[in-house]
């Protein structure tokens, strides 16, 4: 650094934390610092509004370089290359092969063949499925929807008869009997013996990983990021412990595990999650005393979550998956699947699949995010999130271990109860609109209606529980489902009846009436009601007359708190069958309630419960 540059920096004297805090408190003008600026996360820790160099003190993992133990900065020494994967639902082996060949020239370098729970794959099936695919040029993955994939043995048999260099073949079979146990409720007695056999049979394919730890099952069941991390690690340890106890060495077992994580739209937290996962897994594997550090690398595949995806306003899903994919990339994922925006209904199209591929290609070829190793390194914020997630996930992981490990903790109901508690908390947050779903519980498309009849299952949690299950299972669901069911109910009602109309009767203070009308329009549109906004009325009589002209079912009075005491009773006296609603929670609410005005909508309303009540009142 030149003397001139050094002089430049002397023009900016250092500012202490105390000075920053004093400035912030002055700008808050009396508002509570903690309530206004500190983020209380679902992860069990608070996030500060800013971080400084001193917040990095004591973080030992900062000294590691990319590609070095404990791999918090990624498994690669240079660059940030990842595989772009597209998953193909296999219903017919020949058709799946044709589709695979058609997409390999479109930016994809990893294929995921997805089978339903009942499919049993044989070597002859793979000869059809993998025909003309260059196995040395593309990663091959086999996935079962319920986790228990049986493709490792037939794949090993298939590869044994081929001429490819087996050192160049990369793939996985995502065998996860514990994950299957989580969803189905039954654990096959010989499941781990089958995995041990598969590991032995695939030894000649060193870069083929037999075991898949499906953290996405937790994420899509409403788990927090800390829970997904902790329970995934505990599940991974279960495989390490039981398979090494069965006689396999740690190098083979750890080298056969791939973690399949779900990625949410919690942008920075997801970046930190992958870094924390590598940090903790490296420490876990090290405790088994492997001969080399490389086997402690956590190999991760990331898939955009279904938990936060929607069937209404589905194009918003593209925005969600784009930020999710970017989180996975910046977090150092080894491969990524972006679900098409209409995947929830199972009717993906060539267009939606192309968009999903191109979302990753954009990140790689246009944004060049594959060129920089661990771009989050050195960020005070991301480094602290990494440390906090690691700390809290480790604490929960140890709780699972104290209960006998993952399987025993699941049999005791501990894991299910933890996730159910968190899922309920998040559902309440959505109902109170503390957790926003754009186009669903916040800023819905006013004019959108269901273009087709949706099947009942789209509004329900996915239940894969087997008959005679030994434990309570996890049931993946989408947080938007109750809101979508609410809106769909209105859409179906409107096929044979008039769609309910919510009329904004705006009076008085201009700023307040406009703000409350906008709020109320969004509120009632969530249920699929037709909403009619207005510029304002000079009198209660004029407003009521206009509402009746529009055949309104609900009249929402939008004004200031000070004016409600006078105008609300006037409007109530002029209404007949219409439902009167006050926008806001004015101080005069008790007095209004004494006069029979009992409906109020405001920022603290439980929108789900309130809209269900209005549907009931309207006979929907």
65-93 tens-digit pLDDT: 999 999 999 999 999 999 999 999 999 99
- For a pLDDT cut of 90, what percent of the chain falls above it? 92
- What is the CATH code of the structural domain delimited by 498-617? 3.40.50.280
Cis peptide before 16 (omega within 30 of 0): no
pLDDT of res. 149: 76
Residue 554: its H or E element: strand 554-558
Determine the CATH number of domain 70-399: 3.20.20.240
Residue 363 pLDDT class (50, 70, 90 cuts):
very high
Task: Quick: pLDDT tens for 102-117.
Answer: 999 999 999 999 998 7
**Rounded to the nearest 5°, which phi and psi values hold at 92?**
-135, 125
Alpha-carbon span 266 to 181, nearest angstrom: 28
Average confidence (pLDDT) over 583-612: 97
Q: Strand 46-47 and strand 39-40: pairing?
A: antiparallel
Long-range pairs, 536-545, Cβ under 8 A, ≥24: 536/506, 536/507, 536/510, 537/505, 537/506, 537/507, 538/507, 539/507, 540/505, 540/507, 540/567, 540/570, 540/571, 540/574, 541/574, 543/505, 543/506, 543/507, 543/571, 544/505, 544/571, 544/574, 544/575
On the question of pLDDT at 507 being above 90, the answer is yes
**Whether pLDDT at 524 is above 70:** yes
Confirm whether 70-399 and 498-617 share one CATH topology: no
| pLDDT for res 12 | 78
Half-sphere exposure of 488 (CA within 13 A, CB side): 19
Rounded percentage of the chain residues whose pLDDT exceeds 70: 98
Contact 98, 131 (CB under 8 A): no
Q: pLDDT band for position 118 (50/70/90)? A: confident
CB 187 within 8 A of CB 235: no
pLDDT band at 1 (very low <50, low <70, confident <90, very high): very low
CB 471 within 8 A of CB 178: no
Q: How many Cα atoms are found within 13 Å in the side-chain-facing hemisphere of 610?
A: 21
d(C-alpha 325, C-alpha 327), whole Å: 5
- The closest alpha carbon to 252, from 178, 202, 194, belongs to 202
pLDDT digits (tens, 9 = 90+) for 557-579: 999 999 999 999 999 999 999 99
Please determine, for residue 2, whether its predicted confidence score (pLDDT) is greater than 60. no
Helix count (H) and strand count (E) of the chain? Answer: 23, 15
Q: Where are the domains of the chain?
A: 3-37, 70-399, 498-617
**Per-residue confidence (pLDDT) for residue 339, from 0 to 100:** 98
- Condensed to tens digits (0 to 9), the pLDDT of residues 394-429 reads 999 999 999 999 999 999 999 999 999 999 999 999
Q: What is the pLDDT of residues 158-188, one digit of tens each?
A: 999 998 999 999 999 999 999 999 999 999 8
pLDDT at 492: 96
Rounded to the nearest integer, the mean pLDDT of the chain is: 95
User: Tell me: the pLDDT tens digits for 232-262?
Assistant: 999 999 999 999 999 999 999 999 999 999 9
Phi and psi dihedrals of 247, rounded to 5?
115, -10
Q: Where does 246-335 have alpha helices with state H?
A: 250-254, 267-286, 316-331
Instruction: Report whether pLDDT(4) > 60.
Output: no
DSSP 587: T
Question: How far, in Å, CA of 452 to CA of 115, rounded?
Answer: 27
What are the two backbone dihedrals, phi and then psi, of residue 142, each rounded to the nearest 5 degrees?
Answer: -115, 130
Least reliable range by pLDDT among 52-61, 205-214, 392-401, 405-414: 52-61
Report whether 557 contacts 515 (CB < 8 A).
Answer: no
Mean pLDDT of 523-544: 97
Q: What is the pLDDT of residues 341-355, one digit of tens each?
A: 999 998 899 999 999
Which letter does DSSP use for residue 338 in this model?
Answer: P
Q: Is the pLDDT of residue 3 over 60?
A: no
Find out whether 311 and 458 touch, Cβ atoms under 8 Å: yes
């Amino acid at each position: 650094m030149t003397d001139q540059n050094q002089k430049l920096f002397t023009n900016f004297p250092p500012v202490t934390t105390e000075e920053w805090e004093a400035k912030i408190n002055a700008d808050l003008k009396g508002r509570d610092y903690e309530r206004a600026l500190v983020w209380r996360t679902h992860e069990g820790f608070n996030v500060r509004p800013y971080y400084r160099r001193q917040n990095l003190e004591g973080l030992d993992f900062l000294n590691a370089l990319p590609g070095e133990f404990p791999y918090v900065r990624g498994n690669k020494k240079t660059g940030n290359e990842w595989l772009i994967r597209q998953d193909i639902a296999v219903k017919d082996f020949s058709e799946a092969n044709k589709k695979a060949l058609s997409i390999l020239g479109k930016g994809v370098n990893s294929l995921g063949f997805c089978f339903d729970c009942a499919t049993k794959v044989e070597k002859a099936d793979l000869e059809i499925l993998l025909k003309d695919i260059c196995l040395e040029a593309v990663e091959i993955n086999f996935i079962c929807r319920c986790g228990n994939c049986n493709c490792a043995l037939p794949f090993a048999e298939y590869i044994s008869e081929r001429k490819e260099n087996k050192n160049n073949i990369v793939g996985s079979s995502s065998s996860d009997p514990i994950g299957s146990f989580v969803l189905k409720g039954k654990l096959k007695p010989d499941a781990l013996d089958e995995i041990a056999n598969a590991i032995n049979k695939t030894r000649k394919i060193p870069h083929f990983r037999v075991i898949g730890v499906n953290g996405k099952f937790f994420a899509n069941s409403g788990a927090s990021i800390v829970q997904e991390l902790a329970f995934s690690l505990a599940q991974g340890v279960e495989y390490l412990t039981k398979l090494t106890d069965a006689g396999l060495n740690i190098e083979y077992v750890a080298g056969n595990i791939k973690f399949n994580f779900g990625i949410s739209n919690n942008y920075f937290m997801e970046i930190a999650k992958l870094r924390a996962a590598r940090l903790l897994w490296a420490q876990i594997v090290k405790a088994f005393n492997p001969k080399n550090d490389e086997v402690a690398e956590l190999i991760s595949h990331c898939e955009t979550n279904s938990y936060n995806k929607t069937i209404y306003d589905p194009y918003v899903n593209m925005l969600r998956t784009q930020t999710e994919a970017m989180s996975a990339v910046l977090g150092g994922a080894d491969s990524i699947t972006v679900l098409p925006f209409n995947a929830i209904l199972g009717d993906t199209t060539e267009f939606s699949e192309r968009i999903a591929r191109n979302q990753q290609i954009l990140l790689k070829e246009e944004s060049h995010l594959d060129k920089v190793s661990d771009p989050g390194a050195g960020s005070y914020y991301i480094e602290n999130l990494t440390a906090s997630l690691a700390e809290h996930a480790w604490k929960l992981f140890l709780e699972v271990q104290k209960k006998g490990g993952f399987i025993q903790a699941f049999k005791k109901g501990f894991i299910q109860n933890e996730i159910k508690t968190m899922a309920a908390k998040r559902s309440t947050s959505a109902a109170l609109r503390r957790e926003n779903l754009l186009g669903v519980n916040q800023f819905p498309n006013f004019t959108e209606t269901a273009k087709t009849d949706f099947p009942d299952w789209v509004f329900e949690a996915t239940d894969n529980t087997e008959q005679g299950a030994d434990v309570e299972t996890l049931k993946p669901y989408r947080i938007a489902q109750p809101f979508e069911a609410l809106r769909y109910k209105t859409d179906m009602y409107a096929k044979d009846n008039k769609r309910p109309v919510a009329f904004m009767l705006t009076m008085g203070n201009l700023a307040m009436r406009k703000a409350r009308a906008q709020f109320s329009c969004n509120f009632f549109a969530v249920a699929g009601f037709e909403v009619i906004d207005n510029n304002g009325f000079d009198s209660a009589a004029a407003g009521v007359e206009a509402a009746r002209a529009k055949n309104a079912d609900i009249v929402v009075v939008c004004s200031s708190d000070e004016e409600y005491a006078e105008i609300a009773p006037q409007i109530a006296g002029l209404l007949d069958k219409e439902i009167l609603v006050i926008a806001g929670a004015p101080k005069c609410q008790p007095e209004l309630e004494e006069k029979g005005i009992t409906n109020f909508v405001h920022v603290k309303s439980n929108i789900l419960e309130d809209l269900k009540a209005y549907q009931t009142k309207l006979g929907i």
